[in-house]
Amino acid sequence: MSKIAPEWWDYTTLDAELLRDAAQLTAQDLVELARPGFRVRIIDSLEEFYLAEALEYIDAWRQATPDNPVGICGPIGPTEQLPLVARLVNDLGVSLRDAHFWGMDEWVIDGNEVSQDHPLSFARADRELCFDRIAPEYAMPPGHLHFPSANVSEYEESYSAVRCAVMQGGQGEVKHWAFNDPVRREGPYRDSPPSPDEYCRLGTRIVELHPLTLIQNARTSGGGNIPLVPTHALTVGPRQTWLAEKVSIWHPGHHDNPFGMRLSTLMISKRIADSSVPMSLLANHPNVQFMFYHGGIGTCDAEMH
């Protein structure tokens, strides 16, 4: 049973030996867990970390041509790279005429995505932090910005029409990418979580969020005000994730904790796919990279405060 929320699946339901092994990993161990199809890199400074993250946008968009539109799917956590993306586009004169962007997710209230007036709106954050800052002569056509909505068909179809060079994201405390959270422990999943194959068939959809996700988003975006955080959200699905040529996960150290970053790295490296740890399902994607800020790796040693 989960030690966090007994009515849910999550990483605390895993085998105790696996959890112990993850906690013992050093920063050097993380790098050595790289394998073909799974790259692990540690960056020493936050400045270089977020610049490298921003450059993934530029590298993807520069591949776009009228006959070969190319896009990147980007996160709201982290967000520090977004103003840098706009600055690079403007200063380097990168035309986004044939480029595309997908937002990963959006909050849902009463069965519909929130409007951009909502203080936590992800689409609003993407626009304010990045796209509204790009000079008109370089700007992306409005129709090339794809944000998930309750009517998911248009969003899903856009992945078939445009090549997704990179799906970039962070890792939440429940070990998700986007809002691909573990599921409730009920119905067919009362005694076991969905199999990796079953979970990875899921598309863009409305999901109920694990309690840890609510707590994390209140902590990182709302000053700890949990009542402000919606309980449901739209999220890009594994099915769309596997259409991305590369999945790029960035770990600055404040979205998930030292233990969580170690656990998902170990599981992907050893190809231990378990939907209780959704990030571990990326073990089956052919091109995944984990980027760590060195100062955020920390340790799992007991330390009283």
Is residue 302 assigned to a domain? no
SS3 content of the chain, % helix, strand, coil (to 5): 40, 20, 45
| CA angle in degrees (0–180, nearest 5) for 261-262-264 | 70
Is residue 6 assigned to a domain? no
Is residue 82 assigned to a domain? yes
Is residue 305 assigned to a domain? no
CATH code of residue 175: 3.40.50.1360
The pLDDT value given to residue 41: 98
Distance CA 164, CA 162 (A): 6
Estimate the crossing angle of helix 46-61 against helix 81-92, to 10 degrees: 50
Distance CA 217, CA 205 (A): 19
Is residue 1 assigned to a domain? no
Reported as a pLDDT band with limits 50, 70 and 90, residue 222 is confident
Look at phi and psi of residue 298 and say left if phi exceeds 0, alpha if psi is from -120 to 50, else beta. left
Query: Do the Cβ atoms of 221 and 214 come closer than 8 Å?
Result: no
DSSP type of residue 258: H
Tokens standing for residue 274: 């378990």
Q: What is the 3-state secondary structure (H, E, C) of 7-52?
A: CECCHHHCCHHHHHHHHCCCHHHHHHCCECCEEEEEECCHHHHHHH
Is residue 141 assigned to a domain? yes
Is residue 3 assigned to a domain? no
Is residue 303 assigned to a domain? no
Domain boundaries, position 232: 11-295
pTM above 0.85, yes or no: yes
Reported as a pLDDT band with limits 50, 70 and 90, residue 263 is very high
In tens, the pLDDT along 44-85 reads 999 999 999 999 999 999 999 999 999 999 998 899 999 999
Estimate the crossing angle of helix 81-92 against helix 122-129, to 10 degrees: 40
Whether the per-residue pLDDT at 208 is higher than 90: the answer is yes
In tens, the pLDDT along 111-161 reads 999 999 998 999 999 999 999 999 999 999 999 999 999 989 999 999 999
Domain count, the chain: 1
